Amino acid sequence: MLSEKMQQALNDQINAELSSYYTYLSMSAYFTDQDLNGFAHWVRIHANEEMMHAMKLYDFVHSRRGRVLLQPIPGPTTHWGSSLDAFESALRYEQYVTGLINKLVDLAISESDHATNSFLKWFVDEQVEEESSVDLVIRDLRRVGDFGPGLFLLDRELAGRTPADTTNEAGSP
Ligand code: FEO
């Protein structure tokens, strides 16, 4: 069984992951509007990963006989100053989420909730990958600058992103 405090914290994290989904979907719509369909594709795959994160937590709460209580999702940002601005804000957001995951781990440890602590290790590792993948695009964008053909080529490259294989992950069908 989950403690009330742990259950609330996990529900808050479900909300944060769904907010991430909403934010990245909004960003994908922004890129589509900018005729940067490769960027839009890359970010949309990222949005879907956020939904998967939320559902992993959702299933975990149920598997511990806890109660999932969904909360309102704040309206996302809908406009960014540039592609670089969008990805820099994504990196700041990922760093914020990493902080939330770390606090969840701290809580699990303080409650000697070994099952939740073990479950959260996947999220700790995932945040390293999430921050790194966004940071790589930022570095490319900084290299490209305002050089139009460079942005065109980067857009083509990002169009090649394939969804992560989640078939072996908990909560997958
Ligand atoms: Fe689920 Fe990007 O954090």
| Structure confidence by residue, pLDDT tens digits, 102-120 | 999 999 999 999 999 999 9
CB-based contact 126:53 (threshold 8 Å): yes
Both tokens assigned to 172: 């997958």
For residue 50, which atom of ligand 1 is closest to its CA? 1
Which pLDDT score, from 0 to 100, does residue 166 have? 60
Alpha-carbon distance of 14 to 53, in angstroms, equals 8
Distance between Cα 42 and ligand 1 center (Å):
14
Ramachandran area for residue 161 (φ above 0: left; ψ -120 to 50: alpha; else beta): beta
Identify the residues whose C-beta falls under 6 Å from ligand 1. 17, 20, 50, 53, 94, 97, 130
> In 3-state terms, what secondary structure has residue 172?
coil
CATH number for the domain whose boundaries are 4-158: 1.20.1260.10
- The stretches in the chain having pLDDT less than 50 are 168, 170-173
The pTM score is 0.92
Q: Could you give the angle at which helices 37-63 and 114-144 cross, rounded to 10 degrees?
A: 170
Q: 141-161 pLDDT, tens per residue? A: 999 887 788 999 999 999 988
Which pLDDT score, from 0 to 100, does residue 148 have? 84
